[in-house]
Amino acid sequence: MGDEENPDEKAYTIIKYLEDGQVITEHNSRNYTGRASVTYANQDRYEGDFKDGLREGNGTYTYFKEEGPGNRYEGEWLANKKHGIGKMTFGGVGEYFGRFENGKRHGEGVFKYNKTGNVYSGSWKYGIKNGHGEFIFNDTKMKIAGNWDNGKITQGKWIFPNGTYFEGPFVNNYPKGEGIWHFVNGNTVKGDFSQELKDNDNPEPEGDEDNAQITVVNWKTNPEVVDPTRELYHDEPTLELPPEEEEEKKEEENKVEENKEENKEGNPEGEGIPEGEPAPEGEEGAVDEEGGGD
């Protein structure tokens, strides 16, 4: 980034720590290599390494206003982007520790949610859960482990604390389709999970991913076999989303609603126009983009 992004140069302050022990204050990082402390025009702060004028090496970036208090990244950088191993703290939401690539969570990493204590540990692909991973529910100690694609588990195990587990396919983070229950005594039961959406009479606080509707999961097996979920299955597991995924989900839902409204206005008779298609996945939320320029 160049100084053209900071037309008021005095609003951008960099304190450079030179190798000969000198400490100087300037208003741009152009061509600078070494350690420095920076206050950007939007009051974000960075303290760490620079190479040829860009954040590169190890450093800490603290977000000031736009992203809310408490947002902070500590770790490795490359060409002004979070890259390598680091920890990103999202205010009161939670924190991620693991690998980054080009500014996004990518590779192996752990995300812990402050509100519930739930933890996802596994693989990420440019900010989204992808690959093998395990989600642990803090209150029940249940686990969902297996293969994830675009933020959702598609095939894996639903593991209970006593060692009993279901193995099979998942849709929208819930078991769906033919699978097998494995019990600690060695018995197995085959059956089929189905899903249906119902209005949530007791909606969670605003911001929860299941605010409007709940998913009811039903297990079907042979009539002579006792339902294995009778004692085990009381509440459907609800997976949380990291801040960027939550923001993208809300944006997609809003776009779908806008499309529906536009279709109604453009065709009052309601003929010939299908309901709006889901919007394509957006970019990762602004919390992963640094506000300051160099």
pLDDT in tens, 225-255: 555 555 555 555 677 778 777 777 777 777 7
pTM (2 decimals)?
0.74
Which of the pair, 22 or 263, is modelled with greater confidence?
A: 22
Q: Please check whether residue 278 lies inside any domain of the structure.
A: no
**Residue 17 in domain:** yes
Say if 169 falls within a structural domain. Answer: no
CA distance 251 to 238: 20
Is 147 a member of any domain? no
- Residue % of the chain over a pLDDT of 70: 70
pLDDT of residue 81: 95
Count: domains in the chain: 1
Model confidence pLDDT, tens digit, residues 45-99? 999 999 999 999 999 999 986 555 679 999 999 999 999 999 999 988 899 999 9
Q: What is the extent of the structural domain holding 21?
A: 7-86
Question: Is 148 a residue whose pLDDT tops 70?
Answer: yes
Burial class for 103, CB neighbours closer than 10 Å (0-12, 13-18, 19+): buried
Domain-located, residue 73: yes
Partner residues linked to 143 by β-bridges:
136, 159
Cβ(137)–Cβ(143) below 8 Å: yes
In a domain, 60, yes or no: yes
pLDDT over 90, % of the chain: 45
Q: Looking at residue 52, what is its pLDDT?
A: 96
In a domain, 191, yes or no: no
Q: Is the dihedral angle over the CA atoms 203, 204, 210, 215 positive or is it negative? A: negative
- Is 54 inside a domain boundary? yes
pLDDT of residue 261: 74
| Average model confidence (pLDDT) across the chain | 78
